[in-house]
Amino acid sequence: MNRQLSHSLDICVRFSCAFALGTAAIVVLAAPSSATTIERVVSPLGIEAWLVHEPAVPIVAVNFAFTGGAIQDVPGKEGTAALTAALLDEGAGDLDSKAFHERLERKAVEMSFSVERDTVHGALRTLSENRDEAFDDLRLALTAARFDADEVEINRAQVLSLLRRETTNPGDIASRRWWEAAFSGHPYSRPVYGTFESVPTITIDDLKDYRRRVFARENLKVAVVGDIDAEAVKVMLDRVFGALPQRPTLSPVAAASPRGLGQRILIKLDVPQTVVTFGGPGIARRDPDFMAAYVVNHILGGGSFSSRLYQEVREKRGLAYGVYDSLVWLNHAALFLGATATRADRAGETLDVIEQEIHRLAENGPSADELAEAKAYLKGSYALNLDTSSKIATMLVQLQLDDLGVDYFARRSALIDAVTLADARRVAKRLLDNGLLVTVVGRPEGLTTTNQATNQQSEPSGTKLGTGGARPPAVFPGGDLH
């Protein structure tokens, strides 16, 4: 699986100093009047990247994504994309896993891969003096990963260990059950990291086939930030990605919308707290109403201490430590999704308050003061997403995936300012007046449910469970990015 490389003190100091020096120079990108520009670079082979050239910092960050993700797993082989990504840096070319990681560590190269429902992501960070070797390492990982049998089994055991832990984690259970109910029969219902039944069946040929089908130039988005100019980026693009097929072989995926609205599904689990996941249809990223929905969502529960859900659930009643909701935009669906955890004897009251606040905002919309405060926060806090080269590169990839244009940074504040009170009230109704699908895990009291499920996920006999592996990243884009 992706490892946090253990670098020497000297390497760590060099990286830390480089990023400390670079923060002030790079953050200016967030300001609409900034002179810092995003260059659209196209290589001789036609591979495109967005570049922010920052020569003051001796660091190069490369982030990229292939559209496809876990939804391209073959039915019955769920977890193939995740296992493929986990093994890309576990040996490539003539280098086995140990030799490959020693090569990365020797030059302070950081490389990682991750999977979401719609995308496979990769990231590379290197000192600019080592960039040529780092680019060769990335090329090997993408085109010549070994998928050695022993490494496959180590990583398979780690995934199964993760799945085993998830069977006793109420947050994981609530989330998994929500996606299963909301998208029943659709690829979005399938768990990104697979199941106890599917993961043991994934073969080395399955992993190689997934790479062949999904890793291609046509469905690739790349961003580069740091001490590298456009001409060098062009060379890098063809050097790293040029050997990939031109076109992927992706299975078609139908558009979908969350189902089961109005249902409350209870999964009984003997835990101290009750976990609640709730959600419903959202608004697509390219919808003209998206920015108004983004502002409305922030007012409802988008992460700040001033949100209505935070104030009503935590501050006024002390029902939960935290509560949030977020807009989630996928390639084939849009939704808003939230969660909280509370004492079992106050679960019914907590959910009632959440639903009342959602209904109240849908019916009456926000106040003028709430709208003004939300706009100011969303504009002012944006630079927090742009304080390192890696964060900027991540953002630039997401903007390309969302097809928002290279000038989005310059337009964003004006798009937020253009949301009127009438827009916000109209869109609040559109976004929040569709009903909720709710999953509840625990032993809640005072809660009326429409369905009751069991938490059963069979573990295959004879499975050897590993003990390693970090918790994978979230599998959907967060609403705070835009």
Q: Which of 417, 23, 441 is nearest to 226 (CA)?
A: 23
The structure's pTM equals 0.87
Return the C-alpha torsion angle 114, 329, 378, 307, nearest 10.
Answer: -100
Distance, CA of 171 to CA of 179 (rounded, Å) = 13
Rounded to an integer, the average pLDDT of 30-40 is 62
Same-domain check for residues 250 and 268: no
Q: Tell me, what's the pLDDT at 86?
A: 98
pLDDT digits (tens, 9 = 90+) for 152-196: 999 999 999 999 999 999 999 999 999 999 999 999 999 999 999
Same-domain check for residues 212 and 297: no
Q: How many domains does the chain have?
A: 2
% of the chain with per-residue pLDDT over 70: 86
pLDDT mean across residues, the chain: 88
Residue 238 in 3-state DSSP? helix
Q: Tell me, what's the pLDDT at 387?
A: 84
Same-domain check for residues 384 and 271: yes
For residue 416, give the DSSP letter. Answer: H
Tokens 């480089």 correspond to: 18
Residue 153 in 3-state DSSP? helix
Tokens 């019955």 correspond to: 76
Same-domain check for residues 128 and 176: yes
pLDDT digits (tens, 9 = 90+) for 206-236: 999 999 999 999 999 999 999 999 999 999 9
Same-domain check for residues 339 and 395: yes
Rounded to an integer, the average pLDDT of 116-126 is 98
Indicate whether 164 belongs to any domain. yes
Task: Say yes or no to pLDDT of 5 above 50.
Answer: no
Rounded to an integer, the average pLDDT of 28-37 is 48
pLDDT digits (tens, 9 = 90+) for 61-79: 999 999 999 999 999 999 9
Distance, CA of 283 to CA of 294 (rounded, Å) = 9
Same-domain check for residues 37 and 76: yes
Residue 36: which pLDDT band, with cuts at 50, 70 and 90? low
Same-domain check for residues 268 and 326: yes
Alpha helices in 258-302, H assignment, sequence order = 290-301
Q: Tell me, what's the pLDDT at 453?
A: 59
- What 351-357 contacts at long range (C-beta under 8 Å, 24+ apart), as own/partner pairs, is 351/264, 351/276, 351/278, 351/438, 351/440, 351/447, 353/312, 353/313, 353/317, 353/319, 354/276, 354/278, 354/309, 354/313, 354/323, 355/436, 357/300, 357/308, 357/309, 357/312
Same-domain check for residues 389 and 411: yes
Same-domain check for residues 372 and 440: yes
CATH number of domain containing 380 = 3.30.830.10
Rounded to an integer, the average pLDDT of 345-363 is 97
Rounded to an integer, the average pLDDT of 368-375 is 97
pLDDT digits (tens, 9 = 90+) for 247-258: 999 999 999 999
Residue 84 in 3-state DSSP? helix
Angle, CA 473 vertex, CA 469 and CA 477 arms, to 5°: 165
Task: Say yes or no to pLDDT of 290 above 70.
Answer: yes
Task: Say yes or no to pLDDT of 269 above 80.
Answer: yes
Range of the domain at 427: 264-453
Q: Tell me, what's the pLDDT at 452?
A: 60
Residues β-bridged to residue 437: 279
Same-domain check for residues 398 and 302: yes
Same-domain check for residues 170 and 304: no
Rounded to an integer, the average pLDDT of 122-129 is 98
Residue 455: which pLDDT band, with cuts at 50, 70 and 90? low
Same-domain check for residues 426 and 283: yes
Q: Which of 24, 44, 43 is nearest to 34 (CA)?
A: 24
Q: Is 303 left (phi over 0), alpha (psi -120 to 50) or beta?
A: left
